[in-house]
Structure 1
Amino acid sequence: MTPVTRATSTLLLDPGPDEARRLLQRELEGSEYREPFLQRVLGWVSDLVGAAAQGGDGLGRAATAGLLLLLVGAAVLALSRLRRDPARSAPAPTVFGEVRLGAAEHRAAARAAYDAARWDDALVEAVRALAAGLVDRGLLDDQAGLTVREVVTAAGRRFAGEQEPLDGLGRRFDEVRYGDRPADEPAARSALDLEGRVAAATPGAAVDGPVSAVPR
C-alpha cells in the first residue's frame, strides 16, 4: 500500500489526534521518508498533530488531525510524481566524458560505432568530434562542462547555413544521453554527415544572432 493510500484510509477511519500522531510516526519510519527535507516536513506535521491533541474539543481535534493527514497525503503524492519525472532532475547535457580526445579520434570512434550498428554511440561521438573540431580550430573555448548548446551555437555562428541541422543534432544528443530515446541509423548517419561537412567547411565571420533553441 502506498503512503497516499495509507493516509487516505486513515482519514476514512476518522482517527483521534493520538492515533493520528502514532500513524504519522509510523509513516516516518518508511524508507520513502528517509530524505532529510521530507523528514523535517513530516516531523513538523507530527508536532502539529501532537499540539492538537493537547487542547480543544474532541471534534475540533479530530478535524485538525484529519486535515493534517490529508495534507501529508497530498505532499507525498506530489513528491512521488516529481521523482517519476526525469526531466526535472536531469543533469546538464555536457558533451565530453572524463577524457576529451581530438576531433580525429572522436570521428574514428563515431565511424566504428556506426559500422557496429551502435547508433547511440555513433551519434554521441559525432557530436564530440564536432565539438573537438571547433576547439581545435579556435572557434570554441576549451572549457570543462562544455554543453551541447554551446557547441551548436558556436558552430551555427561560423557555419550559418548549418544552423537548423545543428539545432536538430543538439536535440537528438540530449534525447539519446538524457531522455532515454535511442538513436536510429538515419540519426547516426545524419550526425556523421553533419560533422564531416562542418569539418570540411571554411568558417565564416562570426554571426551575432539569437541563441540556438537547443535546451541547456
Structure 2
Amino acid sequence: MSGAGGFMTARLLNGPSGGPPVDIPRDAAREAARRELSDPAYHQNDPSLLQRALNKFWNWVGSLFDSASGATPGGPLGLIVIALVVLALIAALWWRLGTPQRPVLSGGSVFDDRPRSAGEHRAAAETHATAHRWNEAVQERMRAIVRSLEERALLDPRPGRTADEAAAEAGRPLPGHADRLRAAARAFDDVTYGGRTADEASYVRLRDLDKDLERTKPALSGAVPGAAG
C-alpha cells in the first residue's frame, strides 16, 4: 500500500496484459476484495451453523471445567474425585430410599365392575394369589371384605364408596378390627392408585382379616343406622 494524491492506493503488481503495476484507490481495492471473498468457492469447507454452535457450547463447557478445576484443591484430579464422591452419595441414597413412589391417591370406588358376591370376590382373590398376582389378589380380597360387610348389613350398600370410607364406617360396629380395616384400605389404595406392588404378606393380612371379621359379632350400638332395614 502507498500514499498517492492524498489517498491510500493498492498496487497491482501485474497490470492488464502483463503491463506495469497499477495503483487502485483503497476503497475500490476493499470492495474488489470483498466481492472476491464472497465467492462460494472460498466457503465450501466452512463449518455449518450447527457445528459452530456446538463448538461454542463445548468451548463454554471447557471454560467452566477449567474454572472449576482451578478453584478445586488438586486441580482437575480433585474435581474428578469430588464428582465421584457425589455420584457415590446419590447411589447410596437411591439404594437406601428406593425408587421414588408416586403419591397415593385415594377416593376411587372399591368396586369398578358388575356387582358380585363376597364369595365370588374371595374366589377371584384366591385365583390371583395362586398365580402370584398379589396386586389383584389384594384388590379382590378387599372387595370381598366390603361386600361381606354389606351382606351382613354392617354396611349399607352404596355405589362409589371408597376403601377408606368403608374402613371408617365398618370400624364403628367392629371396633376391635378398626386398625386392621384402615391398614387394609391403605394396602388397597397403594396398589390401586399409588402404583405400588403388593406381596404375599400383604395378601395374607387381608385374607386373615376377612376370616376374622366373619367370626366377629358386631357391637350393635355401632351398627350403621338403617342398614338392617
TM-score by length of 2: 0.50
1:187 lines up with 2:202 in the alignment: yes
Over 3 Å counting, the alpha-carbon distance change for 1:153 and 1:180 in structure 2 is same
Q: Deviations over 1:146-173 (max 9, x none)?
A: 1112211122111111111111111111
The structure whose residues are more often helix, as a share, is 1
* Aligned position for 1:135: 150
**Do the aligned residues in 1 keep the contact of 2:155 with 2:169 (CA within 8 Å)?**
yes
The structure whose residues are more often strand, as a share, is 2
TM-score by length of 1: 0.53
* Aligned position for 1:37: none
Structure 2: state its 5+ residue gaps: 1-100, 224-229
Displacement after TM superposition at 1:91 (Å): 6.7
What secondary structure, in the 3-state scheme, does the structure 1 residue paired with 2:203 have? helix
Structure 1: state its 5+ residue gaps: 1-84, 209-216
**Do the aligned residues in 2 keep the contact of 1:135 with 1:141 (CA within 8 Å)?**
yes
Over 3 Å counting, the alpha-carbon distance change for 1:159 and 1:179 in structure 2 is same
Q: How large is the Cα RMSD of the aligned pairs?
A: 2.1
* Aligned position for 2:91: none
1:146 lines up with 2:161 in the alignment: yes
Q: Which has the larger radius of gyration?
A: 2
Measure the CA separation in 1 of the matches of 2:219 and 2:130.
32
**Do the aligned residues in 2 keep the contact of 1:148 with 1:170 (CA within 8 Å)?**
yes
Measure the CA separation in 2 of the matches of 1:102 and 1:136.
8
* Aligned position for 2:182: 167
**Do the aligned residues in 1 keep the contact of 2:106 with 2:162 (CA within 8 Å)?**
no
Highest RCO, 1 vs 2 (Cα 8 Å, sep ≥ 6): 1
> Which amino acid is the alignment partner of residue 190 of structure 1?
R
Measure the CA separation in 1 of the matches of 2:107 and 2:170.
19
Measure the CA separation in 2 of the matches of 1:115 and 1:146.
28
What are the equivalent positions in structure 2 for 1:4-83 lying under 5 Å apart? none
Measure the CA separation in 2 of the matches of 1:152 and 1:94.
13
1:111 lines up with 2:140 in the alignment: no
> Which amino acid is the alignment partner of residue 205 of structure 2?
S
Aligned equivalent of 1:199, options 211, 214, 217: 214
Measure the CA separation in 1 of the matches of 2:122 and 2:103.
29
